[in-house]
Structure 1
């Protein structure tokens, strides 16, 4: 029976009596419970032997008993072979180990007391009977071929229309096209019927997936230790991430602290991370906070690998590298390798089908939310259900930043489904809490794939922030290390509800997305993880430092006072300073399934961060008090008028049809001139043409004097094209008209009304200044000081003796 083709049928079989469910260990032993079946006499562990009563799933759960908290782990083994079946190693005693079993299979369930005072824990084991659904891989039934195609999307409207088709659109793309996964013939028909032009990039993605898995097995077998900070040679399982994070903390207790995020997942899993800093327990020490996170999207395994390797990098570097030691000493680093723990566990443990079908759980992207799907598809656990991997919410479309707009799915089955409301998901609420309660000056969220460093905004119509040159410079610097393209997020396609489009606009902390590698969601480990992280071939960052160097650039920026704001002053020992700000921000007008929109939703954010005084003078690294959303938008004051409109004369005749430009150069060429200062100042030009029938297809390309394509418009199903170039350099250009298709070649539908229209630059806009409310409380919590604080990026603000003299000092500052 093929595991990935199973669906829940609704039978729950308890495994043991209540008396058998209490497990005991008199002492804690720090070891990997999932490593092997321990001797019955081994200290720090207890076991139960069970026999599966079903073909289906085993769920082994641990829960604290009698309110006693500790850290217990659980693992399930096949008794005959000793091989691991499932495991969970989170930081508390709330564990879920889940995987597929066969009827009659003999199992050993092992619980291990890793740390803490709790000598007992409650074990619950359920067997869930499943029935086949989809195409099990063990039946020999041929599956449909999945492929990757590049779809031509030269304009933003094309990208938005492509996103609306419900296909699996990847993050690999550029200004003129995006790669799309076609799982089956139905997807292929959808794309063909849409009228988009596309070309095949990978004709058999299923075969590539199988080949990558084989490469991983060979690499892990032949390489004892990689060049990664941990020496790892293969993709980790969720329980390995959990175990390694707490081992980093146990072995480096003064430098590393493992923690559990506040919101368990839909299926009840804890989400874990680590904080790395000198005097790590003093989280209110005023240092800037640098956050690195991975796996919002379940199938993007390299994202979590790069994140955890960064944690190892900081720990190893603190011990061996003076430069890293200095940076760690001046910052606090939070690493959350797996934001979407439910989805990742399912993707990582799934039987590798490689067909990208609804029941190919290895390719699951979203979380495990079920109640947004149709009622008949809500039954069953996330790992095997009638909705398959389509069920769930995309966490990276669920943040409040411009939520509900373009670039997010509006229906439950969309791969980019935005969810029922901003922050409706526990995964996004977890990250929101970190960013809202800490002064997160720098944030990187890791994804695959596309070789991109993306910065806000996700929607071009939002316009870049007032400090666009600063944000771009940081993105460009990191891209110079990993060899990626540094672009605004909308340069790929419009997206709303993404991580940094909330975190940056709401707090002013720099936020970027890395799209790692160009080969796939989790291709060969040697390339997507080892090479990309360390900067060796075949990675684009070969010889440049790779993502390791890019992460260090981000950390250096976090440590630089010029990159954020600083409060200085004095406060008695044991007093606590607090910065507070509450505000509302509108989402996008909320797109409805029928294409109409409803008014924006106003989302209330509350930012609260603290500093604990050690007595005397203090320095507290903070984000600017004015959030970028209201600070203004980037622009350029015109230095002259725009150039007058130019008409494009249509040459005599009609060129032959050409579906292979530029391979086939047959076309018409119409030159035009772009002037510059001091005569004119062009912020953009738009080249447009029209014809009669939308069934005719002309394509428009704009080339510069060197013959390079600088912009293009090659849509289908319209009777016009418009190509735009922002801030065009002065010089000679040409419009290239390609006759892609004629309804009636004997009576050609020629283009007309060609023109080049010029526009002035859009000036910058400036918004109001915002303040933090700074309060000071004494050792017993009494409010003893209050002041408004205005701080710009790079500015140091002296708040004086705010705890003892705040009212007078505040008045003096306002004079």
Structure 2
């Protein structure tokens, strides 16, 4: 298949995409003959084009043979011809071996099959007519010569060693400091530390110079990547079928996802509909999804919508696997499981396995390097946006360009809510680069348009890794929404199935511009991020996909149901009227109801590369959803009319005064230096007691200790009566530690002080007497209620009814005969 790490140079040859010539990368390529450019098939067949080279006499097949003129890249494309769309697929095979080189199987006839080839390699380009009336399509094949290693001069990149370290971040200031370093921060972490990928010596120096402490978790990621790939090959070769709904035994390629989605629809036409999202990717790929529901074509039937998506981040392959397996689960369960059939009948389910197809295709097809170098395309995270890169890095295709995997935007930092603040990077080559502006990327615009036009009451976006279920908000200073009890309860329930930790997103670290933050704060639909597994971005399939989905060893959800059960909990929430709002009333058959809302929301103050900020950007969102009446009474499941962004913030009214400050006395003497705590238990322990109602009501406590010099390092840990760590502070480079616990349960606690480092152990800088400070709970705040504008149009599109509708979560609102008596009905509701 040829070398993997390359970048384009001047030599380009092509077969043009049509009779009038084609401009490719700024080079006009002469037209070939019509016979060369046109693929023709009188019949169609529902087969996988990529599975094998077919006989030329087979139904729905046309082929061209050609020879690669370069060591480099082939880009084969299909496009509709003469205005006839249809559905054609495309595959490129090595003629000598019959193995697939590249393929594409989207829903239309707009295909891009791309991969690496060798000079003089004999190829077969095969077009397959899957369905539709289009008998012909145009084909174009572009060969790009590439220099080794992807540099302008072809100079080989120096070998390097990538590793994973756990960085100690016991305080929020430490987390903010870590995020500002521009390192590849993973989602695996807790209150006291976060795992970080260090790609090379420069990264190691950056972390070392920051003063943050770390411990090596995996010293050689390249070795792990190679071993994981070998384990995947062995598992696929020795396992006939897994326990997954599809029986799959290996990670899919992009073209397999595309084909399987439309096969689900073809084989289950009343239950499954495959669709193309409105915006092609940066490289022009269609983004595909499926909708699963009874009477699936009637998307305006008023049922609540449950949306599951994967692969915002290219290298997170288990995310798309879990998403597509969920689609199989629903289809299989509808046929065989009465409980699932009942839930499917009450809901509509949308599944988009791959939000970022460009990035995923690159990561999935790359060699298993795992060294996180610039040209380690396997570990690409972002999309293929080139416009924000410096001019010298904008050249070349995404699969082989001078900036390698560093070029692009992080789609999961590109949504509008809180965009531009801490938790995303303004620097183009950062793995968390936020993009040029909110929704600047086609991938995020796709999700925005879908959520804005449907009543998505429940949403899961799948990622790796960290064994976490994250809920809004992504920024701690935002404070929890009024829906916090609902969000927490559902998150905790799902976590009981997969063994993950259920926490607010900021509990890991601040993030801005994320999917569920935008969807929740703008629509009120309950949204979560799942961080699947703890072993890596795409560790062995058997563990990260099969075990995590089915709830078998070694997954944390073994014996509890795994992600399958968690997804079913989410589906049950979507089917539960108490989890959203419901409009009831009556309308004539064929009339259409519409809910509308338009609003502006500010982003965060926009952080600049130099550390300064600019004013927030105001982003306009429009929510429009429809219900088609079948005549008579109706029930329409909708999100609350008041957005959580303006509804207010969660809290509680104080039921008493906070506890008075407690002294924390320093025991006599100074313990020996100890850099191995808790492995080495040498420390000082001070017990204290937290009181509770009715005497006091503590919203938080802070254990505060201080000493003389910033060169001295004491660490502070706080345990409850059961010996569980509940909070800590171990910063370094300070003269104090402050450990905070919100809403502390009453009981006995112990503060532990560890003498981590003394400049002069013979003359120790001991900590002085400390204190425990208390603060009352923060009362809830309530915003102004918002209304939907509800309109009704008759069969010819004439507006016949209009009303304002206020609806809270769990509330059923009777809008009456809104199509015939809306003015009176509105007045009746306001009495």
For the superposition of Structure 1 and Structure 2, which TM-score range results when normalised by the shorter chain?
A: over 0.9
Q: Is 1:676 matched with 2:689?
A: no
| 8 Å Cα contact 1:288/1:558 also seen in 2 | yes
Deviation at 1:670, TM superposition (A): 3.0
Q: Is 1:163 matched with 2:179?
A: yes
Deviation at 1:2, TM superposition (A): 6.8
Using the alignment, how far apart are the partners of 1:721 and 1:597 within structure 2? Answer: 29
Using the alignment, how far apart are the partners of 2:693 and 2:240 within structure 1? Answer: 62
**Partner residue of 1:785?**
801
Using the alignment, how far apart are the partners of 2:326 and 2:53 within structure 1? Answer: 31
Alignment length, in residue pairs?
Answer: 814
| 8 Å Cα contact 2:2/2:118 also seen in 1 | no
| 8 Å Cα contact 1:358/1:388 also seen in 2 | yes
Deviation at 1:204, TM superposition (A): 1.9
**Partner residue of 2:8?**
8
Moved more, 763-772 or 126-135: 126-135
Question: Secondary structure of the equivalent of 2:177?
Answer: helix
Using the alignment, how far apart are the partners of 1:497 and 1:142 within structure 2? Answer: 35
| 8 Å Cα contact 2:418/2:513 also seen in 1 | yes
Q: Is 1:332 matched with 2:340?
A: no
Counterparts of 1:247-262 in structure 2 under 5 Å? Answer: 247-262=263-278
Q: Is 1:772 matched with 2:781?
A: no
Using the alignment, how far apart are the partners of 2:86 and 2:507 within structure 1? Answer: 48
Deviation at 1:140, TM superposition (A): 12
**Partner residue of 2:203?**
187
Using the alignment, how far apart are the partners of 2:359 and 2:436 within structure 1? Answer: 18
Using the alignment, how far apart are the partners of 2:345 and 2:751 within structure 1? Answer: 56
Deviation at 1:754, TM superposition (A): 2.3
| 8 Å Cα contact 2:2/2:72 also seen in 1 | no
| Residue 113 of structure 2, aligned match among 97, 104, 112 | 97
Using the alignment, how far apart are the partners of 1:439 and 1:113 within structure 2? Answer: 35
Question: Secondary structure of the equivalent of 1:4?
Answer: coil
Counterparts of 1:228-307 in structure 2 under 5 Å? Answer: 228-307=244-323
| 8 Å Cα contact 1:10/1:380 also seen in 2 | no
Question: Secondary structure of the equivalent of 1:191?
Answer: helix
**Partner residue of 2:371?**
355
Deviation at 1:230, TM superposition (A): 0.6
Using the alignment, how far apart are the partners of 1:303 and 1:18 within structure 2? Answer: 44
Using the alignment, how far apart are the partners of 1:411 and 1:398 within structure 2? Answer: 13
| 8 Å Cα contact 2:658/2:696 also seen in 1 | yes
Q: Deviations over 1:785-810 (max 9, x none)?
A: 00000111111111111001111111
| 8 Å Cα contact 1:4/1:353 also seen in 2 | no
Counterparts of 1:481-560 in structure 2 under 5 Å? Answer: 481-560=497-576
Counterparts of 1:458-477 in structure 2 under 5 Å? Answer: 458-477=474-493
| 8 Å Cα contact 2:415/2:444 also seen in 1 | yes
Using the alignment, how far apart are the partners of 2:523 and 2:558 within structure 1? Answer: 34
Using the alignment, how far apart are the partners of 2:235 and 2:721 within structure 1? Answer: 48
Under a length normalisation based on structure 1, what TM-score does the superposition of the two structures give?
Answer: 0.98
Under a length normalisation based on structure 2, what TM-score does the superposition of the two structures give?
Answer: 0.96
| 8 Å Cα contact 2:15/2:37 also seen in 1 | no
| Residue 132 of structure 1, aligned match among 143, 148, 158 | 148
Unaligned regions of 5+ residues in structure 2, if any? 17-31
Question: Secondary structure of the equivalent of 1:427?
Answer: helix
| Residue 644 of structure 1, aligned match among 649, 660, 682 | 660
Q: Deviations over 1:343-370 (max 9, x none)?
A: 0000001122221211110000000011
Question: Secondary structure of the equivalent of 2:681?
Answer: coil
Sort the Cα spacing of 1:582 and 1:719 in 2 relative to 1 into closer, same or farther, 3 A.
Answer: same
Q: Deviations over 1:440-467 (max 9, x none)?
A: 0011110011111111111111111112
Using the alignment, how far apart are the partners of 2:768 and 2:408 within structure 1? Answer: 48
Using the alignment, how far apart are the partners of 1:777 and 1:707 within structure 2? Answer: 64
Question: Secondary structure of the equivalent of 1:802?
Answer: coil
Q: Is 1:65 matched with 2:81?
A: yes
Q: Is 1:446 matched with 2:448?
A: no
**Partner residue of 2:29?**
none
Using the alignment, how far apart are the partners of 2:252 and 2:197 within structure 1? Answer: 25
Q: Is 1:735 matched with 2:751?
A: yes
**Partner residue of 2:618?**
602
Using the alignment, how far apart are the partners of 2:227 and 2:168 within structure 1? Answer: 28
| 8 Å Cα contact 1:60/1:125 also seen in 2 | yes
**Partner residue of 1:576?**
592
**Partner residue of 1:420?**
436
Counterparts of 1:647-658 in structure 2 under 5 Å? Answer: 647-658=663-674
Using the alignment, how far apart are the partners of 1:52 and 1:691 within structure 2? Answer: 71
Sort the Cα spacing of 1:675 and 1:738 in 2 relative to 1 into closer, same or farther, 3 A.
Answer: same
Q: Deviations over 1:723-744 (max 9, x none)?
A: 1011112223232221212233
Using the alignment, how far apart are the partners of 2:59 and 2:722 within structure 1? Answer: 75
**Partner residue of 1:587?**
603
Deviation at 1:651, TM superposition (A): 3.3
Deviation at 1:645, TM superposition (A): 1.8
Moved more, 27-36 or 126-135: 126-135
Using the alignment, how far apart are the partners of 1:161 and 1:70 within structure 2? Answer: 53
Q: Deviations over 1:513-550 (max 9, x none)?
A: 11111111111101111111111111111111111111
Deviation at 1:9, TM superposition (A): 2.2
Deviation at 1:753, TM superposition (A): 5.8
Using the alignment, how far apart are the partners of 1:513 and 1:753 within structure 2? Answer: 43
| Residue 400 of structure 1, aligned match among 404, 416, 433 | 416
Question: Secondary structure of the equivalent of 2:331?
Answer: helix
Q: Is 1:685 matched with 2:701?
A: yes
**Partner residue of 1:77?**
93
| 8 Å Cα contact 1:3/1:350 also seen in 2 | no
**Partner residue of 1:198?**
214
Q: Deviations over 1:248-270 (max 9, x none)?
A: 00010111000000000000000
Q: Deviations over 1:261-294 (max 9, x none)?
A: 0000000000000001111111001010000000
| 8 Å Cα contact 1:133/1:386 also seen in 2 | no
| Residue 393 of structure 2, aligned match among 351, 357, 377 | 377
Deviation at 1:690, TM superposition (A): 2.5
Deviation at 1:710, TM superposition (A): 1.4
| 8 Å Cα contact 2:150/2:400 also seen in 1 | no
Using the alignment, how far apart are the partners of 1:4 and 1:698 within structure 2? Answer: 49
**Partner residue of 1:147?**
163
| 8 Å Cα contact 1:368/1:391 also seen in 2 | yes
Q: Deviations over 1:557-593 (max 9, x none)?
A: 1111111111111111111000000111111111111
Deviation at 1:636, TM superposition (A): 1.2
Using the alignment, how far apart are the partners of 1:653 and 1:557 within structure 2? Answer: 57
Q: Deviations over 1:281-321 (max 9, x none)?
A: 11001010000000000000000000000101111111111
**Partner residue of 2:22?**
none
Question: Secondary structure of the equivalent of 2:428?
Answer: coil
| 8 Å Cα contact 1:2/1:351 also seen in 2 | no
Moved more, 424-433 or 745-754: 745-754
Q: Is 1:662 matched with 2:698?
A: no
Moved more, 142-151 or 676-685: 142-151
